[in-house]
Amino acid sequence: MQPSTAVDNASHPLPDDLNGWALFIDIDGTLIDLAATPESIVVPPELPLQLLKLSQKVDGAMALVTGRSIAAVDAMFEPYHFTVAGLHGAEIRRENAEILRKGMEAAALDKPRMVLQKFASRWPGMVIEDKGLGLAVHYRQVPEAAIAATHAVDGLVKDLGYGWKRQDGKMVIEIGPAGTNKGMAVAHFMETAPYAGRKLLVMGDDLTDETMFRFANETGGRSVRVGDPPFESVAEFKVDSADTVRSWIATMVARQ
For every residue of 74-108, which 3-state class applies, written as one string? HHHCCCCCCCEEEHHHCEEECCCCCEEECCCCHHH
Q: Active site includes 16?
A: no
- Considering the candidates 8, 17, 26, 243, report the single residue annotated as catalytic: 26
Q: What is the number of residues in the chain?
A: 256
On whether the CB atoms of residues 21 and 61 are closer than 8 A, the answer is yes
How far apart, in whole angstroms, are the C-alpha atoms of residue 240 and residue 229?
11
Active-site amino acid positions: 26
